[in-house]
Structure 1
């Protein structure tokens, strides 16, 4: 059995030990020891029930560790000799571990790190590299998270919405360091979708796939961003688009709409357009109306205003911005885009420059700066168009 397959078994094994009464940190140590033993002894002939073998071995290792600690002697009365009756079931244990990592007492950053460590099976070094922080800093963050969940275990797990939010945050971290967090979020979302038939889980997975399909066309060789309207759509991965649309349609057919399904529907409409001119902006606005109803989010209303500008004209889009807080992230960039569409080049150039100063992402800041410079050059050449 290869290392990738072993990695997929980690969440279920770890959750099984926590269910039996092991504290989170000790359970993780025991699981790691069991994995090492598996790699040393299985070679090319794994047991008939690899997960059951890992649970039994890890539990025995945990008890060995517990017996050596006088403060944990009472754990010896737990189900130490409880044998595995038939193949171990992966689904429920893995799902429990997702909820445990989305513990209500954890900050979003800590929940993301713990999910990557416990459910994703990633090393602390990999997670630290992805977040561009020292390994010692990430180790402390994960240790604090383990102590938090260890205090209550599965008594106060997070809810499904929190789990999905954690995965959404993982995906939005993008692509940095040696670990591709977008790929990792998709892998984890596939696990969760296999564990629960919830429509919003399917919607989130579809959303990930549809956005990820555009990745090959999203940046230039020098790393600068390419706006959606300028991307080479021939580079989009049609296999991911087809899979995402299929998953989304199945979820929508159940008629239990949620915010991730609505976001995925918007992404699907963009993916369906062979050219930017074929984009069905009217239907996109309708989906933003649904999303605003579901979330009451000012960010959604901001994105809706941009879509209105494309569907009904830039002045209608600018009118839709009225009443929104100018301090919203990307508000200034949205206003710049709409003024540019309206032919108000000087205003757009000034707004792009201001948006660049407000951006906290280097690639986005660079893109907005170039946009402002390009418009100002046009003005200097006497071409306001």
Structure 2
């Protein structure tokens, strides 16, 4: 007989790996996200009570679905509403109440519908991200609140409002119509990428939130499997894999920030690089390249270079031109200025920054000042470089980045 600790570990693994598939099947059968989630949570509580005594079922996911359906029926019967729709659902649940808990069951995969539901345009972006992490990743309210630096009560209220809005607006649990599929898929991709970037550069000022990075990659794999013919899903997954392949080299042994030119490329994750490059080629070969595929292509050029000096900088500059046409954004020009400085010299990069410095909110964008400081230092304009370093340090959120920039600034006045 397993101990409660062993059972809790098994349930935690099941939630992490299968929560989205189980929840999406329940939402599909009940038509009500809030009811499905509450009932599944009730079933998990029952599992924590029953499994230590009777053992873990042969089909634990089927057990959870069967028990969750019973819990849903109990909730409907306890509810005050008895409209026709609830009555029909109660009748369906009653018919399945006596189903054996441990029977073989093919659980239909409705995670794609669940993703589109969580990322519905009726919800604001932060709620889309939070609901996706909850529904597809099985993250707790506490975990999601920590990711956003929110208090638990505030995040719980946000999730509750989002679920009520889904129910109140009568949002159907289904795939978008063909004419809306592209736009809605873009929203799902954006939410996954927001989760990834929050993990890579957490708003808490931490250098990385590893659990969010890996959750975004897991969601990217799910979406790529569900939409195998959608090139940008492969592009996004490739981008995340290639970026994450350098994870172990971004920090020194003392926790300090290590820039790309100083990273030990022998420690880059070659398996992720190979997978990322293959996905990039597949995405680029599927027609007009989208923004994620182009960003992945830039990361692939870095990954393929045997050293920083051997990087194909002209190709990266050209890829940034294509990316800017697809997605005009002055932030892209800042990144392009770095590549341009190595392709044509630091003055060329500085000239590009000068042309765009009045666009958007670049004066409050830390990488703009950090890039400008580096280019000025390479040109020997040390006083101007120091001024820009100070601006970049003031805007740094991660202490490791601020310390790195301070070290660079101090070196300007060194021997």
| Superposition TM-score, scaled by structure 2 size | 0.82
Q: CA deviation at 1:246?
A: 1.6
- Is 1:308–1:316's contact at 8 Å kept on the other side of the alignment? yes
Q: CA deviation at 1:33?
A: 2.2
- Is 1:24–1:153's contact at 8 Å kept on the other side of the alignment? no
- Is 2:15–2:138's contact at 8 Å kept on the other side of the alignment? no
Equivalence for 2:93: 80
Secondary structure of the residue that 2:81 maps to in structure 1? helix
- Is 2:30–2:36's contact at 8 Å kept on the other side of the alignment? no
Q: CA deviation at 1:51?
A: 5.0
The 1:45/1:80 distance shift into structure 2, 3 A limit, reads closer
Q: Is structure 2 residue 289 aligned with structure 1 residue 257?
A: yes
| More deviation, 320-329/22-31 | 320-329
Corresponding residue pairs, total: 374
Equivalent of residue 331 in structure 1, options 368, 389, 394: 368
Q: Is structure 2 residue 252 aligned with structure 1 residue 220?
A: yes
Give the unaligned 5+ runs of structure 1.
none
Secondary structure of the residue that 1:119 maps to in structure 2? helix
Q: CA deviation at 1:14?
A: 2.2
Equivalence for 1:96: 113
Equivalence for 1:46: 58
The 1:86/1:124 distance shift into structure 2, 3 A limit, reads closer
Task: List aligned pairs for 1:1-385, cutoff 5 A.
Answer: 2-3=10-11, 4-38=13-47, 40-41=50-51, 43-47=55-59, 51=61, 54-74=64-84, 75-78=86-89, 79-80=92-93, 87-90=106-109, 93-152=110-169, 154-155=171-172, 159-174=184-199, 180-197=211-228, 198-326=230-358, 327-328=361-362, 329=365, 330-375=367-412, 377-378=413-414, 381=415
| Residues in 1 aligned to 2:47 and 2:170: alpha-carbon distance in whole angstroms | 27
- Is 1:199–1:256's contact at 8 Å kept on the other side of the alignment? no
| Residues in 2 aligned to 1:224 and 1:151: alpha-carbon distance in whole angstroms | 49
| Residues in 2 aligned to 1:72 and 1:205: alpha-carbon distance in whole angstroms | 45
| More deviation, 50-59/7-16 | 50-59
| Residues in 2 aligned to 1:236 and 1:72: alpha-carbon distance in whole angstroms | 59
| Residues in 2 aligned to 1:351 and 1:199: alpha-carbon distance in whole angstroms | 40
| More deviation, 301-310/71-80 | 71-80
Q: CA deviation at 1:37?
A: 4.1
Q: CA deviation at 1:206?
A: 0.9
| Residues in 1 aligned to 2:287 and 2:374: alpha-carbon distance in whole angstroms | 35
| Superposition TM-score, scaled by structure 1 size | 0.88
- Is 1:171–1:185's contact at 8 Å kept on the other side of the alignment? yes
- Is 1:350–1:372's contact at 8 Å kept on the other side of the alignment? no
Give the unaligned 5+ runs of structure 2.
1-6, 177-182, 201-205
Q: CA deviation at 1:226?
A: 1.0
The 1:187/1:165 distance shift into structure 2, 3 A limit, reads same
| Residues in 2 aligned to 1:6 and 1:131: alpha-carbon distance in whole angstroms | 21
- Is 2:239–2:295's contact at 8 Å kept on the other side of the alignment? yes
| Residues in 2 aligned to 1:139 and 1:265: alpha-carbon distance in whole angstroms | 39
- Is 1:281–1:310's contact at 8 Å kept on the other side of the alignment? yes
